[in-house]
C-alpha cells in the first residue's frame, strides 16, 4: 500500500444507538463527547468507552423529533450499536452480531439541565462466557487448533468470524473441567506449536484476541502463532520526520512516539527469556528422571523475528549460556490416550500426551522475549490497523549529520500489541503500542 487516499485525523460518528430496557431505542449520535475504541492481542474482547451527554431531548426510533424524555435510564448489559468512519473512509461497524454490551455505567457529572455519563462496553460473548450453559465440559482429542474452533463455535456459540492459523503441529487430549471458554482457550494457546519449518522443539505459543469489524471484513476472533505473525505482509509503512508532506513510499506519518527500552534484568533472569531455562522432568511410566536445557539462540532467527538479532544483555556474563530458571514437571505418559476401546487406548498408553520438553519452555520464553523492546506511536486516525498486524516504522538517526538517515537500530518491523482509536468532536487519532524481541532493521 502506498500513501492512504485521504487526510487522517478526520472522521465521523455515523451512529451511536442505545437500546435501553427503560427508555427504548435512543439515538446518541449527536450527544457524544468522546469515544475510544480498543483492541489488543492480550485481550479476548474488543472494548469501547463512550462519554455521553443527556439533555433530555433525543430523536426516538418512532420518528418523533426532539421529544422530551424525563430520564434516560441505562443499566449494565444493555445493547449498543456504533458505526464510525475515519478520514480514509474506513468504517468500524459494531452492529448486528458485532454489537457491544454495557459492562459498566459511571455518572461523570450531573446538573439541572443535563447529565454526563460514561459507558464501558465489551462484546456480548464476555457475558456468555460467564454462563453455566457455556462451560467447557467434554473431552477433546486431536489438534489444539480444532479444539479451539469447536469451543468458540459449539460451546460459546459465537456467530462472529473465527480465524485460526493452519493446523497446529501437535495433538493434545484434554478435559473441559467445567471451565469458561475464554480461560480454556488461553490455557491451550501456550500449548500449541505452529506448523512451520523446524518448529518442533523450537517454536510454541499462540495469542487469542478479538478485532473490530472494519469495512465488512467480519472482525471477530483470531488464534494465531506468535512466530507466524512475523511472516505476514506488513500493514503500514510509517515515517517520523519534520516534513509537512509524507514521502511517496510511505503510507503515513508518525505524529509522536516514545520508546520503552527499560529492559528489566530481574525479569529476564526470572523468566529465562534470554537465558537457558532448565527442565527437570520425571516420567512415572518409565521411572526416568532427566534434566534438559533450552536456549533461544537456536530458535530466534531473522525469519521469525522483527529485527536481525536479539539485544546483547550482559554479554560479559554470558547470560545466553547460563541457567536462570528451573522448572520441575512430571510427564503425563498414558494420560487420556485416544480411542474408544481399551484395545485402541492401550496402543497409545506409552505415549506422552503433552511433551513439556518440546513445548513448555519454548512457549513461556516466547511470550516474554516478544516484549523486550516496546514502542508507542501516535498516528492520524486509521481503522485499517488491527492488533496483531505488522507495522514498519522508520525513525531518523540521532546524529550531527546534516542529511539525516534512517536509524538501523530503532527502525524496522513491529507487531501491533494494542490499538486505541480516540474520537473527539475536534479530532481523531490512533495510538499503537508495538513490540519486538530484536534490534537492527532487516
Beta bridge partners of 326: 278
What's the mean per-residue pLDDT of the chain?
A: 87
Residue 18 pLDDT class (50, 70, 90 cuts):
confident
Mean pLDDT for 348-375 is 89
Looking at the predicted structure, is the pLDDT value of residue 3 above 60? no
- What number is the average pLDDT over the span 1-5? 46
What's the average model confidence in pLDDT over 354-380? 90
Kindly tell me if the per-residue pLDDT of 373 is higher than 70: yes
> Can you give the pLDDT at residue 235?
96
* pLDDT at residue 68, rounded to an integer: 37
Between residues 14 and 1, the one the model is more confident about: 14
Asked if 184 and 140 count as a contact pair (C-beta separation under 8 A), the reply is no
Which of the pair, 9 or 87, is modelled with greater confidence?
87
What average pLDDT does the segment 161-176 reach? 90
Q: Where is average pLDDT lowest: 5-14, 73-82, 139-148, 247-256?
A: 5-14
d(CA 301, CA 261): 21
pLDDT tens string 100-128 = 999 998 876 666 567 788 899 999 999 99
- The pLDDT score that the predictor gives to residue 38 is 98
For residues 294-299, give the mean pLDDT.
77
Average pLDDT over residues 13-42: 87
pLDDT band at 64, cuts 50/70/90? Answer: very low
**pLDDT-derived band at 69, boundaries 50, 70, 90:** very low
Residue 355 is placed in which grid cell? Answer: 511433551
pTM over 0.95: no
| The pLDDT of residue 80 is above 90 | yes
In the predicted model, what is the mean pLDDT of residues 339-358? 86
Q: Which is more confidently placed, 296 or 415?
A: 415
Q: Mean pLDDT, to the nearest integer, of 198-218? A: 93
List, in sequence order, the alpha helices (H) in 75-134.
124-128
Query: d(Cα 209, Cα 186) in Å, to the nearest integer?
Result: 9
Helical H segments across 133-241, by residue range: 144-150, 181-189, 226-229
109's CB contacts (< 8 A; 6+ apart) are 115, 116
> SS3 letters for 254-278?
CCEEEEECCCCHHHHHHHCCCCEEE
Mean pLDDT of 193-201: 88
- pLDDT reported for residue 310: 83
- The whole-number pLDDT of residue 49 equals 95
CATH number of 11-122: 2.40.10.10
The rounded distance, in Å, linking the Cα atoms of 81 and 113 is 26
Instruction: State the pairing for strand pair 412-424/32-40.
Output: antiparallel
Answer whether residue 221 shows pLDDT above 50: yes
pLDDT at 157 over 80: yes
Quick check: 71 pLDDT over 60? no
pLDDT above 90 covers a percentage of the chain that reads 50
pLDDT, position 201 = 87
Cα(428)–Cα(439) distance, integer angstroms: 31
Cβ neighbours of residue 276 under 8 Å, at least 6 residues apart?
A: 293, 294, 295, 320, 321, 322, 323, 324
pLDDT of residue 172 exceeding 90, the answer is: yes
Quick one: pLDDT band at residue 61, thresholds 50, 70, 90?
Answer: very low
pLDDT bucket at 156, cuts 50 / 70 / 90:
very high
pLDDT at 261: 73
Q: What per-residue confidence (pLDDT) applies to 6?
A: 47
Q: What confidence score (pLDDT) does residue 108 get?
A: 65
pLDDT of 158 > 70? The answer is yes
Categorize the per-residue pLDDT at 10 as very low, low, confident or very high, splitting at 50, 70 and 90: low
pLDDT surpasses 90 at 317: no
Amino acid at each position: 500500500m502506498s500513501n492512504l487516499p485521504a487526510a487522517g485525523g478526520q472522521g465521523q460518528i455515523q451512529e451511536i444507538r442505545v437500546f435501553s430496557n427503560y427508555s427504548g431505542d435512543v439515538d446518541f449520535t449527536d450527544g457524544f463527547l468522546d469515544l475510544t475504541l480498543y483492541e489488543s492481542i492480550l485481550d479476548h474482547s474488543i472494548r469501547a468507552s463512550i462519554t455521553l451527554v443527556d439533555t433530555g431531548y433525543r430523536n426516538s426510533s418512532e420518528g418523533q423529533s426532539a421529544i422530551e424524555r424525563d430520564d434516560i435510564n441505562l443499566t449494565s448489559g444493555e445493547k449498543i450499536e456504533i458505526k464510525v468512519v475515519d478520514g480514509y473512509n474506513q468504517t468500524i461497524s459494531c452492529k448486528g452480531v458485532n454489537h457491544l454490551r454495557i459492562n459498566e455505567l459511571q455518572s461523570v457529572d450531573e446538573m439541572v439541565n443535563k447529565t454526563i455519563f460514561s459507558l464501558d462496553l465489551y462484546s456480548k460473548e464476555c457475558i456468555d462466557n460467564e454462563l453455566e450453559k457455556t462451560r467447557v465440559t467434554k473431552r477433546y482429542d486431536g489438534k489444539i487448533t480444532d479444539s479451539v474452533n469447536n469451543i468458540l463455535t459449539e460451546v460459546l456459540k459465537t456467530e462472529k468470524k473465527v480465524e485460526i492459523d493452519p493446523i497446529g503441529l501437535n495433538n493434545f487430549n484434554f478435559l473441559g473441567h467445567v471451565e469458561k471458554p475464554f480461560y480454556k482457550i488461553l490455557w491451550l494457546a501456550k500449548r500449541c506449536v505452529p506448523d512451520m519449518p523446524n518448529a518442533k522443539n523450537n517454536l510454541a505459543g499462540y495469542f487469542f484476541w478479538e478485532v473490530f469489524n472494519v469495512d465488512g471484513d467480519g472482525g471477530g476472533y483470531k488464534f494465531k502463532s506468535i512466530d507466524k505473525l512475523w511472516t505476514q505482509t506488513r500493514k503500514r509503512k510509517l515515517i517520523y520526520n519534520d516534513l509537512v508532506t509524507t514521502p511517496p513510499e510511505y503510507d503515513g506519518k508518525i505524529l509522536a512516539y516514545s520508546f520503552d527500552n527499560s529492559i528489566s534484568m530481574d525479569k529476564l533472569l526470572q523468566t529465562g527469556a534470554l537465558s537457558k531455562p532448565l527442565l527437570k522432568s520425571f516420567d512415572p511410566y518409565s521411572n526416568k528422571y532427566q534434566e534438559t536445557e533450552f536456549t533461544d539462540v537456536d530458535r530466534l532467527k531473522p525469519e521469525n523475528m522483527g529485527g536481525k538479532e536479539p539485544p546483547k544483555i550482559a554479554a560479559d556474563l554470558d547470560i545466553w549460556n547460563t541457567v536462570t530458571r528451573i522448572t520441575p514437571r512430571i510427564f503425563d505418559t498414558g494420560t487420556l490416550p485416544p480411542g474408544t476401546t481399551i484395545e485402541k487406548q492401550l496402543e497409545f498408553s506409552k505415549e506422552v500426551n503433552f511433551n513439556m520438553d518440546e513445548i513448555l519452555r519454548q512457549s513461556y520464553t516466547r511470550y516474554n522475549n516478544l516484549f523486550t523492546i516496546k514502542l508507542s506511536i501516535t498516528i492520524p486516525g486509521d481503522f485499517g490497523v488491527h492488533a496483531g498486524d505488522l507495522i514498519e516504522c522508520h525513525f531518523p538517526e540521532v546524529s550531527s549529520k546534516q542529511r539525516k538517515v534512517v536509524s538501523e537500530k530503532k527502525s524496522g518491523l513491529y507487531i501491533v500489541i494494542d490499538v486505541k482509536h480516540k474520537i473527539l468532536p475536534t479530532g481523531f487519532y490512533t495510538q499503537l503500542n508495538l513490540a519486538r524481541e530484536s534490534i537492527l532493521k532487516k
